[in-house]
Amino acid sequence: MKYHIVSTSKTGHGAVFTNLKEALEYQKAHPGSIYHPFDRMPAKIPPIGKEAAEPIRTPGGSSGEITVYTDGSALGNPGPGGWGAVIIQGENEVEEYSQGYRHTTNNRMEMMAVINTLEILKDLRESSVTIHSDSQYTINGITKGWAKGWRKRGWKKADGKPALNPDLWARMLDLVELFPKLKFHWVRGHAGNALNERADDLANGAAGQGRDMLIDEGYVK
C-alpha cells in the first residue's frame, strides 16, 4: 500500500492519505504544502523544509508486536461522534477501523476506540500490544487504577460522586485483563504524529458521516 503524506507546516502537521487523488486535492487546498509518497506508514509527518527521501521508521517492528493508535471525536461534545483505530502488525500490515454514533461524547468515543480495538485483537491476546492514545482520561483510568477503584466502590469516585461512563469502564477493564502484555502510551494530539493524525481523521470522518450511525445506548441511558 502506498501512503500519500501532505506536510503543511514546519512543525510537522498535515494529513495522511491512501488515495493519491485525495492527497493532491488536499495539497491544492493548502498552498505551500509539500507532498511525500511513502511505501510504509511513517511515524511522523515530515515537516516542510526537511528532506523526506527515506521513509521514517514505522513504529511496531517485529512480527510478535502490535502497535495501535486510537482516537475519538464528538462534534459539539456531546453530539454526533465517532472513533477510529489504526492497527499495525509487524512492519507492513496496516488495518483501519472506525464507527460513528448519533449522539455521544468525546470521552466515550475515546474509550470505544480502545474497547473495539481490544475486541478486534482478542484472538491475539498473547501478543505484545501497545495502544497509543491522546486521551489522558482513558489512559489514566487504566494505568493509574482509577477505574478499578471506581468499580470496587460500586462505580463511585473517592469523593462519593458517581463515576462517569461506568458501562464502558466495565467493558474495558474486562478486556484489559485478557491481555497480559498490553501497554498504553500517551501521545500529544495534533503534534504531527502521522498515525495519531490518521486515527483522528478516521474518528472525525465517522462522526460526520451522517449515515450508518449507531445509537450509544449507554449514553442515552
Decide: 144 and 150 in contact? Cβ < 8 Å: no
Q: What is the CATH number of the domain that holds 143?
A: 3.30.420.10
* pLDDT value at 9 more than 90: no
Residue tagged active-site, from 110, 197, 201, 216? 110
Residue tagged active-site, from 4, 12, 100, 134? 134
Cis peptide bond upstream of 42, omega within 30: no
200 is catalytic: yes
Q: Do 132 and 174 belong to one domain?
A: yes
How much is the pLDDT for 29? 84
CB-facing half-sphere around the CA of 48: CA atoms within 13 A? 15
Q: Do 191 and 124 belong to one domain?
A: yes
DSSP per-residue codes, 132-156: EES-HHHHHHHHTSHHHHHHHTTSB
Residue tagged active-site, from 81, 141, 200, 216? 200
What Å distances lie between residue 140 and 45, 75, 102, 148, 162, CA to CA? Answer: 27, 23, 27, 11, 17
Model-level pTM greater than 0.85?
no
185 is catalytic: no
Q: Do 82 and 24 belong to one domain?
A: no
What is the span of the domain harbouring residue 28? Answer: 3-38
> Nine-digit cell at 66?
502490535
Q: Do 120 and 199 belong to one domain?
A: yes
212 is catalytic: no
The answer as to whether 52 is a domain residue is no
110 is catalytic: yes
Q: What mean pLDDT do residues 165-186 have? A: 97
Q: Do 95 and 184 belong to one domain?
A: yes
| pLDDT tens readout for residues 54-72 | 333 334 444 478 999 999 9
Helix, strand and coil in the chain, % to nearest 5? 35, 30, 40
Instruction: Show Cβ contacts of residue 192 under 8 Å, excluding neighbours closer than 6 positions.
Output: 11, 12, 13, 14, 44, 45, 47
Q: Is the dihedral of CA 151, 173, 130, 82 positive or negative?
A: negative
CB-facing half-sphere around the CA of 206: CA atoms within 13 A? 30
Q: Do 112 and 216 belong to one domain?
A: yes
Q: How many structural domains is the chain composed of? A: 2
Residue tagged active-site, from 71, 197, 201, 216? 71
How much is the pLDDT for 8? 85
Decide: 175 and 194 in contact? Cβ < 8 Å: no
How much is the pLDDT for 221? 64
| pLDDT tens readout for residues 98-117 | 999 999 999 999 999 999 99
Report the distance separating Cα 177 and Cα 199, nearest Å: 24
Report the distance separating Cα 42 and Cα 54, nearest Å: 10
Q: Do 71 and 146 belong to one domain?
A: yes
The answer as to whether 160 is a domain residue is yes
3-class SS of residue 193: coil
134 is catalytic: yes
The answer as to whether 57 is a domain residue is no
| Amino acid in the structure at residue 163 | A
132 is catalytic: no
The answer as to whether 110 is a domain residue is yes
Q: Do 117 and 164 belong to one domain?
A: yes
Q: Do 91 and 157 belong to one domain?
A: yes
How much is the pLDDT for 44? 79
Q: Do 28 and 78 belong to one domain?
A: no
Residue tagged active-site, from 72, 82, 84, 192? 72
